[in-house]
Amino acid sequence: MRIPWQVRELDLFPSYSLYLGYFRDVQNAEFLRKQVLAKRLPIPPMTTCVLLDASCILDPVQVECAVTQALLHVSSNTMITHELATEVVYCLSPTRSLNQALKTFSANRSTEHFLVVVIIPVSTASSPAEPDTILAKLDSTIEGKPSHNDLSPLLEGKERILKLYGITSMELDAANSSPLPHQTIVDSILSRMSARELCRV
DSSP 139-177: HHHS-SEE--TT-GGGGGGHHHHHHHTT--HHHHHHHHT
Does position 1 have pLDDT exceeding 60, yes or no?
Answer: no
pLDDT at 199: 57
Asked if 84 contacts 119 with a C-beta cutoff of 8 angstroms, the reply is yes
Digit-coded pLDDT (tens) for 64-107: 999 999 999 999 999 999 999 999 999 999 999 999 999 999 99
pLDDT at 4: 72
Report how far apart the first and last C-alpha atoms of the chain are (Å, whole number). Answer: 41
pLDDT at 147: 86
Give the mean model confidence (pLDDT) for residues 4-11. Answer: 88
Q: Which domains does the chain have, with CATH numbers?
A: 6-198 (3.30.2380.10)
Residue 27 — very low, low, confident or very high, per pLDDT cuts 50/70/90? very high
Give the mean model confidence (pLDDT) for residues 120-129. Answer: 72
